[in-house]
Amino acid sequence: EPEVTQTPSHQVTQMGQEVILRCVPISNHLYFYWYRQILGQKVEFLVSFYNNEISEKSEIFDDQFSVERPDGSNFTLKIRSTKLEDSAMYFCASSATSGGGKTQYFGPGTRLLVL
Amino acid sequence: GENVEQHPSTLSVQEGDSAVIKCTYSDSASNYFPWYKQELGKRPQLIIDIRSNVGEKKDQRIAVTLNKTAKHFSLHITETQPEDSAVYFCAASDGGGADGLTFGKGTHLIIQP
């Protein structure tokens, strides 16, 4: 069964550094998402992406975040200048359809630690 | 925006008993309600979902009920087994352009042998 994949599984970075988290969505899916989960807390929506543009973003997704689909398979989340509070598990998800109830499949996550 | 409340935060049941987790949502436009199971350090995995045109859905030992009037939905697990131990999250989506899921805070389900 196809799965969403993410790299790296773990990333340690210094505060102020840029990080890029990578995701390969399920191949026939059209809608892509990023979520984050701070340790022990709920999963929080960051951004959704469709047709090469952002569909919607949450208040968490400020100017230090950006997303890109650089080619036909990868979907990336960039954090320009990391802060301590960016430490979290970042999940990518994808779905085949949207609106009125679509199923989102999550990747295994990238655990980001900002020191 | 949407707000999802989930109760209880921790639920301990004897193996073989039933477990019920409840969620309420605030946005009457929400029309899609998935439940995810997350084991420690793993990805959230969809276990069941329900759409607003359905009141109840069942898949073997798992069932979900939806009351749109009251804006609440519940997860029912019958004949619980040790492998059911995990954190369960409910979520809601308004099905609009955003499509982002709003999650509840999670329920840590503990199955006592």
pLDDT band at B2, cuts 50/70/90?
confident
Given a cut of 50, the residues of chain A with pLDDT beneath it are 100
pLDDT at position B97 over 60 = no
Q: Which of B45, B99, B102 sits opposite A99 (nearest CB)?
A: B99
What's the rounded Cα separation, in Å, for the pair A25 and A94?
6
Sheet of B62-67, strand order: B4-7, B19-25, B72-77, B62-67, B56-59
Helix then strand then coil, in percent of chain B rounded to 5, is 5, 55, 40
In chain B, the residue whose alpha carbon lies closest to the alpha carbon of A4 is: B43
Token readout for A87 is 């430490």
Residues B24-60 pLDDT 10s: 999 998 989 999 999 998 899 999 999 887 799 999 9
Q: Do A31 and B43 touch (CB under 8 A)?
A: no
Owner of token pair 């979907």: A75
**Of residues B5, B4, B6, the one with CA closest to residue B107:** B6
Q: Count CA atoms within 13 Å of residue A55 on its CB side.
A: 20
Residue A35 with chain B: CB contacts under 8 Å? 100-101
* Predicted pLDDT at B95: 63
Size of interface A-B (CB pairs under 8 A): 72
* Predicted pLDDT at A88: 97
What's the rounded Cα separation, in Å, for the pair A58 and A62?
8
What residue type is assigned to position B113 of the chain?
P
Q: Which of A101, A105, A108 sits opposite B32 (nearest CB)?
A: A101
Q: Do B89 and A42 touch (CB under 8 A)?
A: yes
* Predicted pLDDT at A103: 86
Q: Do A58 and B44 touch (CB under 8 A)?
A: no
pLDDT at position B76 over 60 = yes
**Cα end-to-end distance, chain B, whole Å:** 41
Contact A14, A113 (CB under 8 A): no
What's the rounded Cα separation, in Å, for the pair B20 and B78?
9
Residue A78 CA, distance from chain mean position: 9
Residue B36 with chain A: CB contacts under 8 Å? 43, 106
* Predicted pLDDT at A51: 87
Mean pLDDT of the B55-79 span: 96
pLDDT at position B98 over 70 = no
Token readout for A86 is 């960016």
Phi first, then psi, for residue A68 (nearest 5°) are -155, 150
* Predicted pLDDT at A101: 57
* Predicted pLDDT at A98: 61
Q: Which of B89, B99, B102 sits opposite A102 (nearest CB)?
A: B99
